[in-house]
Every structure is written in structure tokens, then in C-alpha cells.
Structure 1
Amino acid sequence: MAELQSLLSDGSMQYEISRVDSSGRLSARRLLLALNWKVGDQLALQTSDGIIVLRPATRSVSRVTKQCSVVLPAAARFRSGIHGGDGVLLAAAVEHDTLVVHSFSVLDQMMSRYHPARATAAQ
């Protein structure tokens, strides 16, 4: 998923915090609207190291629900270490039609790499 790095460079990312319910559903109304994803749109997904990447597709394992949410299949949640009740960071790359779901453990890793680097730079 090296292509995710290129999504960050254009400044068009939009973020939101959400919580995954016990059935794998997560609310993302604002970001789904920004992505212009409609009820019933089919979504393909990829998983890797605590993230789930969603993109529109003709064949899918997920879709946008009537409640403007997305249901993450159990297998994808398991592979990503995301459980019912967990908080997640959602990152929408609007220009690239992509929604990335980050587990909080991934967010913790990003923060731990960022802050020591900032402390060293300030010295």
C-alpha cells in the first residue's frame, strides 16, 4: 500500500474520529458526503497493518448503508486488529476517492514516531 503515501502530499485529506459498533458498522456521514459516495455504492477494501482502505468498486465486500455508514466485514476487522467498540481515525482522500480506516494502535504508532522527532528538532 505504498501508494497511500502519495495521498498525503496534496493537502486534500479530511479527517474524522468514529467508533466501530459490534456489527462492524462505523458512521462516516460527513466524509461519505465529501467523497460523494451514495447509499448503495459498493466498496472494495484492502487491509494492512491496522488499516482498512476502502474504494468504490463494481464487485465489493462492503457498501454505503441507508444510515450513511459503512460496514467493515469481520475478516477485515480481524486482519486489521479493529474490534467492536474501538475508536478509529478516518482519513478521506477526496481527490483519490479513498477512505482509510486507521486503528487507534496505528495512530499511537504514528504519534510516538512524530513526537520524539519534534522534541529532538526543538533541542
Structure 2
Amino acid sequence: MSSNRLRLADGEQVIGALVPPKITRPVRAPAPLPVLPRLILPADPDVGALVVRMARLDRSGRLSARELLEVLSWQPGSRVDIGVVAGVLVAASASTGRHVVRDRGGLCLPAAVRQMCGLLTGVPVLLAASPSQQVLVVHPVDTLVRLLTEHHSRLAGDDHE
């Protein structure tokens, strides 16, 4: 038998030239995980610290909020991190952020994050920007409705005492 042929069961033969040689590679240490951004909710007690607007998400998850992005000084090309904090979507300015402000003052919100926060296409969202903290929070409109309902109930309760 020639040296470039190997015997297999049932008389089959493998031609050595067609079988690649076994390659051994050095074992590398795993790469360290990237440090995740620490996103926080704005908590400035000053009432004027938040700039609030309403918007709608388009079917691609883009949010057009040029006016708020200007208040935050986020220009086209500015980098931001986007994540979930306490069930709401938070975007924060970050020099190494994975997301970029678009040319027309838009921000693409990742589908997984939108889904986790209950943000639906075409349904209004409440945007709260904190220029001092460079943070934009996106709330589903249900949050605003719930807060207003609770507030109205408290007001009605005060009138009936």
C-alpha cells in the first residue's frame, strides 16, 4: 500500500492528499469583555432641568427629535450609548458609544431595547432630555397616561375632603 493512502473499514481508502493535515493552534486567553456603559436616569430636582417633548417612532425604530438633540448638543455623528434602566430606554452621550446621531437629527433605537421598553411603532413616546447630564430618556406614552391619571385622582381626592 502506498504511503498516501489510508485504509478504512470495508475496503474503502482515503487518499492522503485530500485529507488536510491536523493543525494545532496555540491556546489564546479569551479577550476581556468590554465595559458596559453605566447609564443613569436624570434625577436633578430642578423642575427646569428636563426638556420634554413628544415624538413617534417610525417603522424602522428611528426617532426624529432634532430639537431635543440640539438641546443636548448632539450633532450628526455624535456617539451615544443606548440601554434600559428601570424599564425605560436611556440614551447617553459617550465618546465610544455604539450608536450615532443621524444626519437629520434622528436616532435609531435598537429593536431589542424598544421591545423591552414597550415602545411601539407609530405610538407616541415621551422624550425627557437632561442637558446637564447629557441623557435622553424615552418613555412609552402609557407612562404619561398612568402618571396623569394618578395625579388627577389625587387632585379629585383633595377636592372631596
| TM-score (norm. length: structure 1) | 0.87
Q: Letter of the aligned partner of 1:24 in structure 2?
A: G
- Considering fraction of residues, name the structure with more helix: 1
> In 1, distance between residues paired with 2:52 and 2:138?
10
> In 2, distance between residues paired with 1:57 and 1:5?
16
Q: Work out whether 1:41 is the aligned partner of 2:73.
A: no
1:114 corresponding residue in structure 2 = 151
2:34 corresponding residue in structure 1 = none
Classify the secondary structure of the residue corresponding to 1:4: coil
Which structure would you say has the larger Rg?
2
Which of 53, 56, 63 lines up with 2:90 in the alignment? 53
Coordinate RMSD, CA, aligned: 1.7
Q: Work out whether 1:4 is the aligned partner of 2:41.
A: yes
Assess, with a 3 A threshold, how the Cα gap between structure 1 residues 5 and 95 changes in structure 2: closer, same or farther. Answer: closer
2:123 corresponding residue in structure 1 = 86
- Considering fraction of residues, name the structure with more strand: 1
1:72 corresponding residue in structure 2 = 109
Identity rate, percent:
33
Q: Letter of the aligned partner of 1:42 in structure 2?
A: R
Contact kept? 2:127, 2:136, Cα under 8 Å:
yes
Whose RCO is larger (CA < 8 A, sep 6+)?
Answer: 1
Structure 1, gaps ≥5 residues long: none
